[in-house]
Structure 1
Amino acid sequence: MKRMSFNDSWECRPKVNLFAEVSGTTPYRPVSLPHDAMLGRQRTPDGESAGAYFPGGAYEYRKTFQVAAEDEGKRILLEFEGVYRDAMVYVNDAYVTQRPYGYSQFRADIGPHLRYGESNQIRVEARTHQDSRWYTGAGIYRDTWLLVGGPVRIAPEGVRVTTLEYDEERAVVEVAVRVENDEPVLRTVRLGVEIAGADGSVEATGSAPVTVEPGSHAITRQRLYVRAPNLWSPARPALYTATVTVDDDDRDTEHTTFGIRVLNLDPTNGLRLNGNPVKLRGACVHHDNGPLGTATYARAEERRVELLKDAGFNAVRMSHHPMSKAMLRACDRLGMFVVDETFDMWTSGKTSFDYSLHFAEWWERDLEAMVAKDYNHPSVIMYSIGNEIPEIATPSGAVWGRRLAEKIRALDPTRYVTNGINTLLAVMADLAAMEQNQDVQQVGEDSTGINTFMADPAAGVDAINTSELVTRKTEESFALLDVAGMNYAEARYDFDRKLFPDRVILGTETLPSHIHRIWSLVKEHGHVIGDFTWTGWDYLGEAGIGRPQYRAGDESQESFMAAYPHLTADCGDIDIIGLRRPASYYREIVFGLRTHPYVAVRRPQHHGKTYTGTPWAWSDAISSWTWPGFEDAPVTVEVYGAGDEAELFVNGRSQGRRRLESFRTEFEVLYSAGELLAVTYRGDVESGRHTVRTAGAPDRLRAESDRAVIAATSGDLAFVSLTLTDANGICHPGADRPVHLDVTGDGVLAGFGSARPSTDERFDTPDHQTYEGRALAILRPTGPGEICLQASAPNCTTAVVKVVVKEGL
């Protein structure tokens, strides 16, 4: 089918009651898709911390468009890649379709409701309220497409490419095509297939007739042979394109990108790609893009994958819903494994109005939508059927798990099935009953009881996770999977090697501070195929779960989530504007990917206080030696390294050597402006060094675009980093100030913000305060030409950056 972008010329407003409009009409405002309707709402302390204190609400979009008279009689569909949530679609005031789940792609057959040769209006409603545990955004937040096809055509996502066999000489590739026939007569057409390499060279061709019954469809399969195939892998993400053509009056053509690769899995060798063992260095990520909210621009998704890969990750788990098409394409091109996930809940809800209210009716259609979207993407290696499902340890939960797993296997037998099971959550009801029963002091057959768990949570969690209770109640739910996904249950890794010798395990969600211990287990055990940290990229919502917390004296610890105006989870190797945090460099060292050390300094204002952060928190250290006002004050310096020892120098004076334990050590020193140097050693041989220097007066504002030239398409963006520096270009993190932007030319400001975790500032204005000396402006092109951004801040030079916008890139 002919595919055309449908993103332009929309309008949006908060949905109003029809009777309320009697007293006055609520105006629409023009928007371009993708669009997050929630991001422009005012946050309030009355909101939910899970949703970053944004209010819920209902929204409606409308668009007027023309359909040519000659298109009458054709199949016309409107494709939505994602609408959050409870979408309702109307054309010319007639109801067409709906979709409760906010993360599923769906299509509306609008042809019967159109006025051909005249103006038409489409209206889409969306609503969200207490239905998630994170910031969801709202509205039509992913791309939309208008699909037009003749009576005989290739179905949308009707081309599926599968590698059946491969060796060095050739790969056997099956191309299966679904051909549809709307005509009232039998039709026979010829279907041609061409496979081309990345350079455009034709590698294989095929052709065959296919007869389709009236008002029905037919599946045709052709086996093609690609000589000397280039195999897809993270190191060399080779891609091919299959072009499928129906030789008919309308000559329908579809292009599908795919990769040739083969997966193997067993408890001895673990996961193998093309015969080579692979360990997954994984990042869990949510779907928001920081200052853009949940608006899913292709370039923003690509940039996230680029930065995650640069930080040492080779796999992404989309948490906890299906991944966007744009991110899948980026993972294919850049070489990133994907674990795509279905749902955060099944029949047992986690929030008052979540998807559990619709699950029983819609789960099958939503699974089908995810697999159809993912099938041709070589980056996708595994499907997850859920995350921390409360009912997973019950017979009913096992029945549902088997139902979902078998449905996925029927749709796609080429990938593996997992489930992010939180074993502690699975037996929470049993633990609560034990706690109430004072005669019960044991968990199953273990001697560690609830009282021990409360006194020593870490030891208590490990004891419960390896208890007979957990083993017995989760056995069936793990057994129905190809890969046992475990959230925060690394204590079972070695335990299950003996108890369940055929069980393959994946750490689907783990604590960032445990990576040194977890990664040693991953490397040691063949049946443990990788680890996914919570989380790879900071996100909006779950406000403050990873914030560093301190108390002095008898002050009580704060609550698990932070009060308004906290905005982000403050948890992630990379912050919401794309900057790596100290935990990221530590992880890179643990992975064995970084030879040089990394030095970071804890904020001196908290020195001497007791640290009380959650298990998801890192310390508040940053890689800076600029602490005005704290001269001669004591500070704690953290050094991460892969050697045996680390030596610290302050302004050339050694502060001694300390042994590196678990890839890190600490020094207590007095702050003195100048230079901080960390040197690591293996034996007596230097293995690396890292230096940070004190910044001078922050009298400069530097603006740098990630790319000088971008494409004149709605999915492309320019990311402009803004940094407060001294004359030598050193960032000054301790003198934040407001920045004002002026954007002119052929583009607009799509978002502007910083990584400040607690703020009442907005992302949709041209004014924002820097955080630790940095901010990020995001520019969206409106046509070919040039975008000019001018940034100004008090007592700083004005920064100017220009971005060229070209067509045809």
Structure 2
Amino acid sequence: MIRVPFHDGWSVGPKLGAFESRTEATAAVPVTLPHDALRDLPRSAESGQGVHAGYIPGGVFEYVRQFEVPLEWADKSVRIEFEGVYRDATVFLNGDFAAHEHNGYAAFVVDADPFLRFGEENTISVEARVHRDSRWYTGGGIYRPVHLVVADPVHIALDGTTATTADIDGERAVVEIATIVENDTRHTATRRVRWAIADADGADVASGNAPITVLPGHSATARLRVAVENPRLWGPDSPHLYRVRTELADAAGVVVDEDETRLGIRRLQLDAARGLRINGESVDLRGACIHHDNGPLGAISVADAEQRRVRRLKDAGFNAIRSAHNPASRALLDACDLHGMLVMDELADVWTKSKTAFDGSVGFDERWRGDVAALVVKDRTHPSVILYSIGNEILELATPHGATWSRRLAEEFRRLDPTRFVTNGINGIIANLGHLAEIAASDPNTMMADMGEQMALMNASPFITDSIEESAAVLDVVGFNYADSRYDLDAELFPNRVIVGSETFPDRIASLWADVRRLPHVIGDFTWTGWDYIGEAGIGRVDYTDAPGYEPTGTAGPFPYLLAQCGDIDITGHRLPASFYREIAYGLRAEPAIAVHRPQHHGRPVAKTPWSWDDVVSSWSWDVEPGSAVTVDVYADAEEVELLVDGVSIGRSAVGSPRALIARFETTYRRGELTAIAYRDGAEIGRSSLRSAADPVLTVRAEGSEMSADGVGYVEITIADADGVLLCDADRLVSVTVSGGSLAGIGSGRARTEESFGADAVTTFDGRALAIVRADPTADQVRISVTADGLEPADAVFAVRQASSSSRPDIIAV
């Protein structure tokens, strides 16, 4: 099989009518895939997609590429594999319709054979449409990888090998391997399938083979059961991976096709008394909901970006992610396999009732089986995936017909993959929007509560208990969005029910995690969100209500808000104070963490949403007058905290106010070293410090010494002193030039901005910015040079590592 990336040589422009010609304004521009057609479009307050997409407009786009088809391919099977095109992808080959895929997150394969012209140049075009079809930023176009696949007419199906391990003990694991072989010829074909399982060092630990006969125009499945002795198990703390190598040989023993499949040997167990167990050990899910965009790159999915994101989430204390509200990319799942990150992979945000004007509800009743199959085929080789989520806050879930859909979807997942658990993100309020008055009447206190408390109280009402019972009963794990009020209640009402907090408010993690530890039937918590994202703009912002022209806008952030501003980690990958608070709540951090409220806003009235954190920064470098009032929070799992400036105590404060795990101090600002010491039973249990920065220096740091020729490299840009201490109040415009490559994206953590990710300059935020680069095809190094007014220029260099023949580790090219 020849399986190569199909990423170069494309152009994209707005889709024109049949009788229109391109002008200078509509000219197509060259691009490299994956590509986000929306990211660089001009934003405005009048954008039709509005706050959902961060005021980035939609559109209809056409990608075009020419490619040579050699004569020797005439007796081969030629396919083009798309991992994701957003949305309503329509593919034409040499002007003829070849395929359509409505789902913007589903992989699909185009059978190119009927359309190709052998021995000459061929043209492929792909149309994609994005318009008011989502509640978040989707991106648009061919935003996930594409591969050209050339194989023998009798070949292994794409994603055709699965390996499962239901029978595991301390001495061996029985691996059940199944490989689908397809026959595109007019004759019956008999072949032999050979398998070998290799460990991480490449040594074969088990093997076997079997003959297979495939009728013309059909497929058949070859199977093997083989034992791996003394298996090394895959788990969150030890993600050991094996490889299953599959060969297809003809009658003479010549290998005509080959692929590799990742295998993680692990055992899942689940019950209300013991919770979730992996390989016999109890695991509580320290979960992060994440959206699929990659910040300054837009919506594109590339391996380097997904690896970096998963590593940083893991370093921040998370051991699980929820792919909200759509199926995860292959690259993200590969990263989770490698780093031991558990995954809840989600099918959809809507079923048959719409949430936006042109969303996926249209035609769902006809497409749903294909959507489920596409997700399962992608996920079933990934040990990181332990939960399939059939939906999120589904509108019709509380009706009899909605319960029928719940059962239908859950059973289809089980039919296709019985090795994983099924859940659903249930919000009883969303499912009962037409009955809010009845719910509130059952508990008048709900109308006196704030939004977060109101949601919790309503979700625990008897009305919602009854209305969601059937839809919850079809699940292995009941996911509750903002309904921790049900945790103790359901232990009494439904003693066999297993629950996960599938979406929760970020500032309640201390009590939420205490519930997870206290209640065995509650197996984890997924905060909204672990990583900030584009769209749902300003949902987690902090407003100062005395600002000129301030008007309450609910949870929607007014233009020019671009980012949600609700992640523990910002879009550049920088951990915010909320992340350290969560790490302390999880019991993973002994040292206190210091968070300083911006002194220039001291005393001003604020408005927050349930997804907001305080407007704080871990810094003691401020451009305010000495003696200015400042509020300092110290996060600590302690009884009290002492605060010192330059070694002089300014007092002690009890932990627990204004929230659990926080000690608050009112003091004044002066340059120096700020130190927090945490105490329990009168003894010090940890300390941490912040120091004021000296004169600013522009610093540019490449993350790693090399980058892949087919990947991206990350460059951190900071305004800091010579020792690396950031200056929060010294933000300025930084300009970036790249030699040996190109700028793939640039940005900062600033949520309210009119700057573009596609520019060559950006204003730092709290002293930080991020540049992302691609290498030129022939470059052996990439140099990034950065300038800023008043500071000495700085640069960084990547050596370029040549790309492998395949961008996916589970299939090789031969």
Structure 1 counterpart of 2:289: 284
Structure 2 counterpart of 1:741: 736
More relative contact order, 1 or 2 (CA 8 Å, 6+ apart): 2
Structure 1 counterpart of 2:540: 546
Offset, 1:673: 1.6
Offset from partner CA, 1:421-461 (integer Å, 9 cap, x none):
111212221114x49xxxxx722xxxx23x74245444433
Give the 3-state SS of the residue equivalent to 2:429 in structure 1. helix
The one-letter amino acid paired with 2:576 is R
Structure 1 counterpart of 2:638: 643
Alignment partner of 2:513 out of 514, 519, 528: 519
Structure 2 counterpart of 1:562: 557
CA contact 1:453–1:461 (8 Å) conserved in 2? no
- Superposed counterparts of 1:177-576, under 5 Å: 177-248=179-250, 251-432=256-437, 434=438, 442-443=441-442, 448-449=443-444, 452-552=446-546, 557-576=552-571
Offset, 1:636: 0.9
User: Does structure 1 residue 50 correspond to structure 2 residue 52?
Assistant: yes
After the TM superposition, which of the residue ranges 182-191 and 114-123 deviates more from structure 2? 182-191
The one-letter amino acid paired with 1:528 is V
Give the 3-state SS of the residue equivalent to 2:507 in structure 1. helix
Offset, 1:606: 2.4
Question: Residues 220 and 577 (structure 1 numbering): CA distance in 2 closer, same or farther, change over 3 Å?
Answer: same
Q: Percent identity?
A: 48
Offset, 1:187: 1.9
Structure 2 counterpart of 1:800: 795
- Superposed counterparts of 1:11-30, under 5 Å: 11-21=11-21, 26-30=26-30
CA distance in 2, matches of 1:354, 1:182: 36
Number of residue-to-residue matches in the alignment: 794
Structure 2 counterpart of 1:71: 73
CA contact 2:427–2:459 (8 Å) conserved in 1? no
CA distance in 1, matches of 2:715, 2:321: 25
Give the 3-state SS of the residue equivalent to 1:333 in structure 2. helix
CA distance in 1, matches of 2:390, 2:18: 40
Question: Residues 250 and 208 (structure 1 numbering): CA distance in 2 closer, same or farther, change over 3 Å?
Answer: closer
Question: Residues 459 and 50 (structure 1 numbering): CA distance in 2 closer, same or farther, change over 3 Å?
Answer: closer
Structure 2 counterpart of 1:577: 572
The one-letter amino acid paired with 2:694 is G
CA distance in 1, matches of 2:92, 2:297: 27
CA distance in 2, matches of 1:197, 1:427: 51
CA distance in 2, matches of 1:296, 1:687: 42
Structure 2 counterpart of 1:438: none
Question: Residues 141 and 459 (structure 1 numbering): CA distance in 2 closer, same or farther, change over 3 Å?
Answer: closer
CA contact 1:550–1:613 (8 Å) conserved in 2? no
Offset, 1:184: 2.4
CA distance in 2, matches of 1:692, 1:629: 17
Offset from partner CA, 1:704-739 (integer Å, 9 cap, x none):
111111222x2x221000000123321101011111
Structure 1 counterpart of 2:811: none
CA contact 1:171–1:226 (8 Å) conserved in 2? yes
Give the 3-state SS of the residue equivalent to 1:329 in structure 2. helix
CA contact 1:604–1:630 (8 Å) conserved in 2? no
The one-letter amino acid paired with 1:754 is S
The one-letter amino acid paired with 2:661 is F
CA distance in 1, matches of 2:179, 2:449: 60
User: Does structure 1 residue 709 correspond to structure 2 residue 714?
Assistant: no
Question: Residues 455 and 314 (structure 1 numbering): CA distance in 2 closer, same or farther, change over 3 Å?
Answer: closer
Structure 1 counterpart of 2:123: 121
CA contact 2:596–2:630 (8 Å) conserved in 1? yes
* TM norm structure 2: 0.96
Offset from partner CA, 1:192-250 (integer Å, 9 cap, x none):
11000010000001011111122211111100110100000111110000011111256
Offset from partner CA, 1:269-327 (integer Å, 9 cap, x none):
00000011000000000011110001111100100000000000000100100000001
Question: Residues 356 and 454 (structure 1 numbering): CA distance in 2 closer, same or farther, change over 3 Å?
Answer: farther
The one-letter amino acid paired with 1:702 is T
Offset from partner CA, 1:73-110 (integer Å, 9 cap, x none):
32211100000111100000000011111111011111
The one-letter amino acid paired with 2:231 is P
Structure 1 counterpart of 2:808: none
Give the 3-state SS of the residue equivalent to 2:21 in structure 1. helix
Question: Residues 711 and 417 (structure 1 numbering): CA distance in 2 closer, same or farther, change over 3 Å?
Answer: same
CA contact 2:599–2:624 (8 Å) conserved in 1? no
Q: What root-mean-square deviation, in Å, do the aligned CA atoms of Structure 1 and Structure 2 show?
A: 1.6
CA contact 2:13–2:26 (8 Å) conserved in 1? yes
CA contact 2:94–2:122 (8 Å) conserved in 1? yes
CA contact 2:631–2:667 (8 Å) conserved in 1? yes
Gaps in structure 1 of 5+ consecutive residues:
436-440
CA contact 2:446–2:458 (8 Å) conserved in 1? no
Question: Residues 61 and 458 (structure 1 numbering): CA distance in 2 closer, same or farther, change over 3 Å?
Answer: closer
CA distance in 1, matches of 2:742, 2:584: 40
Alignment partner of 2:628 out of 612, 633, 638: 633
Structure 1 counterpart of 2:139: 137
CA contact 1:711–1:805 (8 Å) conserved in 2? yes
CA distance in 1, matches of 2:224, 2:692: 65
Alignment partner of 2:669 out of 667, 671, 678: 671
Gaps in structure 2 of 5+ consecutive residues:
805-814
Question: Residues 729 and 475 (structure 1 numbering): CA distance in 2 closer, same or farther, change over 3 Å?
Answer: same
Give the 3-state SS of the residue equivalent to 2:337 in structure 1. helix
CA contact 2:79–2:109 (8 Å) conserved in 1? yes
Structure 2 counterpart of 1:110: 112
* TM norm structure 1: 0.96
CA distance in 1, matches of 2:302, 2:24: 35
Offset, 1:775: 0.4
Give the 3-state SS of the residue equivalent to 2:19 in structure 1. helix
CA contact 1:52–1:540 (8 Å) conserved in 2? yes
Structure 1 counterpart of 2:63: 61
Offset, 1:611: 2.9
CA contact 1:567–1:757 (8 Å) conserved in 2? yes
CA distance in 2, matches of 1:647, 1:377: 47
After the TM superposition, which of the residue ranges 241-250 and 5-14 deviates more from structure 2? 241-250
Question: Residues 709 and 457 (structure 1 numbering): CA distance in 2 closer, same or farther, change over 3 Å?
Answer: closer
Give the 3-state SS of the residue equivalent to 1:72 in structure 2. helix
Give the 3-state SS of the residue equivalent to 1:19 in structure 2. coil
CA distance in 2, matches of 1:374, 1:23: 43
User: Does structure 1 residue 690 correspond to structure 2 residue 688?
Assistant: yes
Alignment partner of 2:650 out of 651, 655, 662: 655
Offset, 1:808: 5.7
Offset, 1:807: 2.0
CA contact 2:456–2:482 (8 Å) conserved in 1? no
Offset, 1:374: 0.5
CA distance in 1, matches of 2:75, 2:26: 37
CA distance in 2, matches of 1:724, 1:5: 38
Give the 3-state SS of the residue equivalent to 1:20 in structure 2. coil
CA distance in 1, matches of 2:284, 2:441: 36
